[in-house]
Amino acid sequence: MTADDADGLLTGSIRKPLVRQVNVGLACNNLPAMTTDARETHLRSLIRDVPDFPQPGILFKDITTLIRDREAFRDVIDGIARAYRGLQIDLVVGVESRGFIFAAPVALDLHAGFVPVRKPGKLPAHVISQSYELEYGRNTLELHDDAIVPGQRVLIVDDVLATGGSLEATIGLVERLGGVVVGVSVVIELGFLGGRGRLAGHSIHSLITY
């Protein structure tokens, strides 16, 4: 398993047997009129299950089938952004690499800037680094050391909250530069992995929880 695999991959890995799904509300402007539960069920129906990927015994939650649907993709972006409109977000930080898919359009919606957090060696200027523990070893994320001005209000966006390691590291990077983490928002939360506990003290927003 790679470092990405251990922290959730594209948009989350679920080890068999499957756990019971837990519904969380999502208001979708562009989908047909329906109840909140029905809207979430519709979005769930667009996420493809891929068995035994990236290794035997893993049921992989693939978001590519969700984001290729333009209306559903738009409603996911709206579902994230609407939770933070009016909260004076200065910057939206996206976590490499699937977090970029959602963070950049959310930044546009919120009239905020976009800042990428990347793997080592991907950013060209001087960086600060933060490492975190994985099931099998360690991983590191980096952020340009001039990306955030102290006091700026920051929203962190990623595709998945799994064990919480990459998001915990991202929070650490933002706070080391003096940024104020207003919230952390993800499309999917794998609640049974307990990643939320690693982010104690921060507001967590998720659209779909397994």
Residue among 195, 189, 196 at smallest CA distance from 210: 189
- 32-50 average pLDDT score: 79
Percent of the chain whose predicted confidence (pLDDT) is above 90: 72
Angle between helices 70-81 and 98-109 (to 10 degrees): 70
Q: What pLDDT score does 6 carry?
A: 40
Rounded to whole angstroms, how far apart are CA atoms 30 and 7?
31
Percent of the chain whose predicted confidence (pLDDT) is above 70: 82
Q: Is residue 11 pLDDT above 70, yes or no?
A: no
- For residue 65, with 0-12 CB atoms within 10 Å meaning exposed, 13-18 middle and 19 or more buried, which class applies? middle
pTM of the model: 0.84
Q: Is residue 22 pLDDT above 70, yes or no?
A: no
Q: Is residue 113 pLDDT above 50, yes or no?
A: yes
User: For residue 91, what are the β-bridge partners?
Assistant: 113, 154
- 148-158 average pLDDT score: 98
Domains of the chain (ranges, CATH numbers): 3-209 (3.40.50.2020)
Say which of 48, 71, 135, 138 is annotated catalytic: 135
Which one has a higher pLDDT value, 24 or 121?
121
Say which of 39, 40, 96, 98 is annotated catalytic: 98
Two tokens at 136?
Answer: 């099998």
First-to-last C-alpha distance (Å) of the chain:
21
Q: 40 an active-site residue? A: no
Q: Is residue 3 pLDDT above 90, yes or no?
A: no
Two tokens at 135?
Answer: 């099931």
Token look-up 């898919």 returns 101
Q: 189 an active-site residue? A: no
> If you compute the radius of gyration of the chain from its CA atoms, what whole number of angstroms results?
16
Q: Is residue 194 pLDDT above 90, yes or no?
A: yes
